[in-house]
Structure 1
Amino acid sequence: MRICIVAEHASYKFGGEAVLPLHYFSGLRRRGIETWLIVHARTQPELEAALPEDRARIRFIPDAWFHILLFRLSRFLPRRISEASVGLVSVLATQYLARRIVRKLIATEGIDLVHQPIPVSPRFPSLITGLGVPVVIGPMNGGMEYPGAFRHTESLFSRAAIGFGRGLSDFFNSLMPGKKRADVLLVANERTRKALPSGFRGRVVELVENGVQLGTWTASASRAKVPGKARFVFLGRLVDWKALDVVIEALGRVQEAELEVIGDGAMRDAWKQAAEQYGVAERVEFTGFLPHAECAPRLRSALALVLPSIYECGGAVVLEAMASGIPVIATKWGGPADYLDSSCGFLIEPTSREAMVEGFAAAMARLIAEPRLRDELGARGRERVEQHFDWEKKIDRIMEIYHELLPAPAPEYAAAGTAGRR
């Protein structure tokens, strides 16, 4: 079995969906599967340093002048309009170049199957088609809207533009029919299934897009906390829809708590100002970006993860916190609501901003006051991740899907970590 993974980005540093292609590529290579990765050259230094043994199996799409131009244009547009306009053009241009590389690999390396795990948007067109081998796309996760109480977050113009773009989704997917012609479309949930373009012919399979590497994200053997204030952690990109200001305001109502913010982004300065405004600046530490290896021990030693996002399709950090054996307090919206339940954390209804502030404050105060509860929630979270979200089990499942599409009888494959590289 010879597999080609195709992606716009593949990075441990970019955050969001960019890490997903690396999980598939690395997971398959651990099984000794002949696998190649095609990705844009903007992550070449990172990948060559992180995957030195597999450098020969990675093909980089060169950065062209139009990529630079489109990136510069995107900085002047609202996020979602940028993604649906210049972002769309940039990704499709990259896919066009990637498709040419895939065709060469099929001819020279005998690729049996092509897998395009990102973009995760179910409406985004794909040019990965007409290759003469089976194509798998996904897992996708989308069809999202802001909660009703937060629709004002976007301007009327932005909402109208996004609505218009979604209305044209079927048209664009007819012009660029990769998803309509794919052999298998993987979706994370029913919401995403409903957002797929009409007229697709492939089989739709439900598979959550996120998972956890249990060897990296481990629970602490000792549940004792470091003396001092109760430390909560936020881990993620600092972008507007993460709504970190909600937790910063909630912190003002929980005097025993402090917050560590791990990550970076455009909202960093604004949220530093919010901490000053709410009088909690001395209890909020902006750590900046940290690699996974450094994030894991910080999560393990925290009292809980807080994630007040109002537009989170996935939320891998929720699973990472659960795997680390700590409770999670998150917005009951999108991906976190798919992963989390009352057995392992708190889901806060986004009925209004004030309701969210009060909900996060109440949950934080309760976890501080009830150590037995937080230990129980943390233990149940770890169990839930082991049962449903282990990346090794996801690799097992994706290999089953690959085998179902290939004409040869399914060969036996090695257990994780036992097969040597080829």
Structure 2
Amino acid sequence: MADSTTTETDDAPRVLIVSEHASVRFGGEAILPWHYFRFLRRRGVEAWLVVHSRTRDELIGLLPGEADRMHFLPDTALNKRAYQIGRRLPGRISHFTVAYASRLSTQRAARATARRLIAEHRINVVHQPILVSPREPSLLYGLEVPVVMGPMNGNMTYPPAFAKRVDAAVLRLSRRATNFVNRLSPGKLQAAALLVANERTRQALPAGARGEVITLIENGVDLEIWSPPEDRAPRDGPTRFIFLGRLVDWKAVDLLLEAFARVQTNPPPVLEILGNGPMRASLEEQVGRLGLQDRVRFSGWQTQVECARRLREADALVLPSLYECGGAVVLEAMACGLPVVATAWGGPTDYLDDSCGILVPPDSREALIAGIAEGMSRLAADPELRARLGRAGRQRVEHEFNWETKIDDMLGIYRRVIAARASQATPLADSPPPSR
């Protein structure tokens, strides 16, 4: 871990990572604050973490030597009651009502803890990596040090041909309310820097935000976990496709199964589906109707290490998602040397091009199914194409999306906002005289 003898200067970042949750087990956006904290400590940067207590045992187990730098927010009566009520409500309604109240309660506790730690440890920059939604309000303001938020990634819509999959009225109402709510909880309006993954996210920032807006990709890859096999030589047997993700409507696994049924190669390919969710039962029934029982396997939820192992054993990843803001699994597959077939919509378009994958426009339901089937057929029939795309994807991840590069970028941003705050605090008498 960090070297206690690391030389420190007056402008060296002393970073407080504040997040509602952090977890390797749950993955998704929850893993982002954890990676910031552990990679900063590995570099010898003075850093602390404030996070909800629900993952205390997991995080301390991962880095027991850093336990004194982790501060956990207790599960309150409001958090517990909100969770109980939210389970009975539709997902979007829960997110914007009782779950929102729970998040605000946690953020109030986090702000109080942050103020105490800033004073105790001379912290000079606070970083709130999540929630990644650009419209989600923040209570991290008035902390006397610059606050960095993000990278955020959002402002997603469904492709026009699939818009019926979302309650558009609820979506419009929630978006109209965000500017008002961000005035009540003005953390984003007062932040020193707002990090956005792409232009569509930039356009969704609340009106009146005065911090510097910086483009930085949301996701990164831990190359120690996600790596290619030592030997990916062509092998006999069926082509092995894999899907990783939650089994929910917007992941469009039902369309993937329709496409997979059309892939006619010899020998027939196989498909492994990693993940759980409310659609699993209906998807298993669909597999039966399509007569794919011998070629499709549902493997349920797996740890990151196990997912990485199974990616190394696969030949290609398929991600047909219709509402994917980030798509970290695309980067993880690329890091494992796999080509990717994905919907040309949202997050995957930030990572993929025709040098390392196949993007399928979601022009209609039939066009997406046909395009995915064609992409899978091309890869199944051409081992050399798979190898070439896989190598290019790995190289791209190494150069642009690995966590070491991401930490370099973040340290530069921390120093930038620290220097800007110091210049604002400099008394006029200490300022250099104007040139003549």
- Please classify the TM superposition score into its range, dividing by the shorter chain length: over 0.9
Of 228, 253, 261 in structure 2, the residue corresponding to residue 219 of structure 1 is 228
Of 307, 314, 323 in structure 2, the residue corresponding to residue 295 of structure 1 is 307
| 1:220 counterpart letter in structure 2 | P
What residue in structure 1 maps to residue 261 of structure 2?
A: 252
Of 125, 128, 132 in structure 1, the residue corresponding to residue 140 of structure 2 is 128
| 2:394 counterpart letter in structure 1 | R
Matches within 5 A, 1:95-244: 95-154=107-166, 158-244=167-253
Instruction: State the distance in 2 between where 1:50 and 1:68 align.
Output: 26
Q: CA deviation at 1:181?
A: 0.1
Q: TM-score when scaled to structure 2?
A: 0.90
The answer to whether the Cα contact below 8 Å between 1:305 and 1:326 also exists between their aligned partners in 2 is yes
The answer to whether the Cα contact below 8 Å between 1:261 and 1:284 also exists between their aligned partners in 2 is yes
| 2:311 counterpart letter in structure 1 | L
Instruction: State the distance in 1 between where 2:213 and 2:21 align.
Output: 24
Query: How many residues are treated as equivalent by the alignment?
Result: 407
* Secondary structure, aligned partner of 1:396: helix
Instruction: State the distance in 2 between where 1:322 and 1:9 align.
Output: 27
Q: CA deviation at 1:82?
A: 2.3
| 1:387 counterpart letter in structure 2 | H
Q: CA deviation at 1:72?
A: 2.1
Comparing 31-40 with 222-231, greater Cα deviation is found at 222-231
| 1:274 counterpart letter in structure 2 | Q
Instruction: State the distance in 2 between where 1:152 and 1:78 align.
Output: 16
Give CA deviations for 1:279-305 in whole Å, capped at 9, x if unaligned. Answer: 212211111222221211211221100
What residue in structure 2 maps to residue 417 of structure 1?
A: none
What residue in structure 2 maps to residue 86 of structure 1?
A: 98
What residue in structure 1 maps to residue 46 of structure 2?
A: 34
The answer to whether the Cα contact below 8 Å between 1:232 and 1:302 also exists between their aligned partners in 2 is yes
* Secondary structure, aligned partner of 2:294: helix
* Secondary structure, aligned partner of 1:186: strand
Give CA deviations for 1:356-412 in whole Å, capped at 9, x if unaligned. Answer: 1111111111111111111111111111111211110000010011111224999xx
Q: CA deviation at 1:267?
A: 2.0
Comparing 290-299 with 339-348, greater Cα deviation is found at 290-299
What residue in structure 1 maps to residue 275 of structure 2?
A: 263
What residue in structure 2 maps to residue 277 of structure 1?
A: 289
Of 383, 389, 397 in structure 2, the residue corresponding to residue 385 of structure 1 is 397
Q: CA deviation at 1:79?
A: 2.3
Q: TM-score when scaled to structure 1?
A: 0.93
Instruction: State the distance in 2 between where 1:337 and 1:117 align.
Output: 22
Identity across the alignment (%):
54
Comparing 282-291 with 5-14, greater Cα deviation is found at 282-291
What do you get for the CA RMSD once the two structures are aligned? 1.6
Comparing 325-334 with 262-271, greater Cα deviation is found at 262-271
* Secondary structure, aligned partner of 1:168: helix
The answer to whether the Cα contact below 8 Å between 1:84 and 1:162 also exists between their aligned partners in 2 is no
Of 340, 343, 349 in structure 1, the residue corresponding to residue 355 of structure 2 is 343
| 1:185 counterpart letter in structure 2 | L
* Secondary structure, aligned partner of 1:63: coil
* Secondary structure, aligned partner of 1:232: strand
1:4 aligns with 2:13: no
Of 10, 29, 49 in structure 2, the residue corresponding to residue 17 of structure 1 is 29
1:317 aligns with 2:329: yes
The answer to whether the Cα contact below 8 Å between 1:149 and 1:350 also exists between their aligned partners in 2 is yes
| 1:232 counterpart letter in structure 2 | F
Instruction: State the distance in 2 between where 1:401 and 1:54 align.
Output: 24
Identify if the C-alpha distance between structure 1 residues 389 and 208 changes in structure 2 by more than 3 Å, giving closer, same or farther: same
Give CA deviations for 1:213-245 in whole Å, capped at 9, x if unaligned. Answer: 122211223222553221111112222211111
Unaligned ranges ≥5, structure 2: 1-12, 423-436
Larger radius of gyration between Structure 1 and Structure 2: 2
Identify if the C-alpha distance between structure 1 residues 408 and 242 changes in structure 2 by more than 3 Å, giving closer, same or farther: closer
The answer to whether the Cα contact below 8 Å between 1:225 and 1:301 also exists between their aligned partners in 2 is no
Instruction: State the distance in 1 between where 2:25 and 2:314 align.
Output: 22
Unaligned ranges ≥5, structure 1: 411-422
| 1:262 counterpart letter in structure 2 | L
Instruction: State the distance in 1 between where 2:421 and 2:231 align.
Output: 47
* Secondary structure, aligned partner of 1:282: coil
Q: CA deviation at 1:39?
A: 0.8
The answer to whether the Cα contact below 8 Å between 1:243 and 1:310 also exists between their aligned partners in 2 is yes
Instruction: State the distance in 2 between where 1:304 and 1:408 align.
Output: 46
The answer to whether the Cα contact below 8 Å between 2:146 and 2:421 also exists between their aligned partners in 1 is no
1:72 aligns with 2:81: no
Whose RCO is larger (CA < 8 A, sep 6+)? 1
Give CA deviations for 1:35-94 in whole Å, capped at 9, x if unaligned. Answer: 111111111121121221211111111111211221122223332332222222221111
What residue in structure 2 maps to residue 304 of structure 1?
A: 316
Identify if the C-alpha distance between structure 1 residues 408 and 87 changes in structure 2 by more than 3 Å, giving closer, same or farther: closer
Q: CA deviation at 1:310?
A: 0.4
What residue in structure 2 maps to residue 403 of structure 1?
A: 415
Instruction: State the distance in 2 between where 1:12 and 1:354 align.
Output: 37
The answer to whether the Cα contact below 8 Å between 1:134 and 1:405 also exists between their aligned partners in 2 is yes
Instruction: State the distance in 2 between where 1:324 and 1:247 align.
Output: 21
